[in-house]
Chain A
């Protein structure tokens, strides 16, 4: 389960943000579901070979965003809010769309051209899945 976690040294973002992002991705993708128990702060720190304080911070921030819940003495689990996974997927989509818009602007594409490219990408994906 935790083999898929990786902290990148070359990623300039703080480690705790990387951890938060990867946890959100797990939930978005459906690997971790609502209410499911997740590794304790200490355990994840050991598995990732990072300091406890970094994982603690990531968990605190995630708790603040309502994504996980940590209970004294009972460990941590994904928040039981229904549709959490879907919500996180939505957030990710938003982020990617914003990024696409930004890059399109740099390339000088107009919104209609961006729309076209997006439709093409969707079609390509559909083809692959049929095959």
Chain B
């Protein structure tokens, strides 16, 4: 594998902090290796957009180091942005102009514009270049913005909520293009989303962020491997013991649900040895993992 950047990392945030009046980002560590898709999941107000703006050099961090494609940010943001395609949910194109005008504008600036691919995208997304932006629906505007970013084939794609507010067909179209980027192993994608299903499907690595802190960051398959839900039948008079790797137990009468973030089959045996009966051990979807993780981390902070 070619390693173009220090440590083979397309994005590296170390100890990044940013303080606002009512919100602060705290000690953010984030590593995105070249050639991977990183999904960033967090509730509203968690700090996803702020983190993304910091790595784009649009906001200057109060502390910590930011390196994107080998460039220090925000000092070298101009050099970095030549190779970054950025789209955020609150970004708008010029209403009075056509999509074609925007395509020409971008093409006149960047050498890497692929006109043939742009035409393919127009067809795939069902967009007409002669249309003015103000005449487009929300979904079409999002696709138009993404087209402008994708057709340049940038080395790094940074997308803040690219599929939010889109209908299932449009979402599918976009996910298809995002995974298509992976054909070139030198290209990297970082995207943030509420939609855990999208993130679960296409991400190689997933980072959870909540209330300004990173609460977890690892390979997607590891998440899916480590988290389990155990459905347990607890006979009368038995108290379930606290076990390693079990972060929460909810009990309602004789039925209990134990959630584990570091699953080990021995745990099931440990429960059974107390007299309880394991009904089922279930895998958890990324959404369930995320919610459980956030609840757990908030409890820990309050403790």
Contacts and interface: CB of A to CB of B under 8 A. Distances in A.
Q: Do chains A and B directly touch (beta carbons under 8 Å) in the complex?
A: yes
Nearest to B178: A49
Contacts of B283: 12-14
A51 interface: yes
A51 B183 contact: no
A interface secondary structure, majority: helix
A101 B232 CA distance: 26
B19 interface: no
A70 interface: no
A51 B176 contact: no
B202 A46 contact: no
Contact of B204 (A14, A15, A49, A52): A52
A42 B221 contact: no
B interface secondary structure, majority: helix
Contacts of A14: 221, 224, 283
A57 B221 contact: yes
A9 B176 CA distance: 16
Given A52-B36, A53-B221, A46 B182 contact: yes
B180 A46 contact: yes
Of A45, A49, A57, most buried by chain B (CB within 10 Å of CB) is A49
A11 B172 CA distance: 18
Nearest to A45: B182
A54 B223 CA distance: 12
Contacts of A49: 172, 175-176, 179, 201-202
A43 interface: yes
A16 B222 CA distance: 12
A100 interface: no
B88 to A, nearest CB: 23
B185 A51 contact: no
Contacts of A46: 179-180, 182-183
B175 A42 contact: no
Interface in A1-42: 7, 9, 12-16, 42
A50 B182 CA distance: 10
A51 B203 CA distance: 5
A48 B202 CA distance: 10
A50 B202 contact: yes
Contact of A51 (B37, B180, B197, B282): B37
B231 interface: no
Contacts of B220: 51, 53-54
Interface in B199-255: 201-205, 219-221, 224
A49 B172 CA distance: 9
A51 B202 contact: yes
A12 B229 CA distance: 13
Contacts of B221: 14, 16, 53-54, 57
A104 to B, nearest CB: 22
A25 B221 CA distance: 23
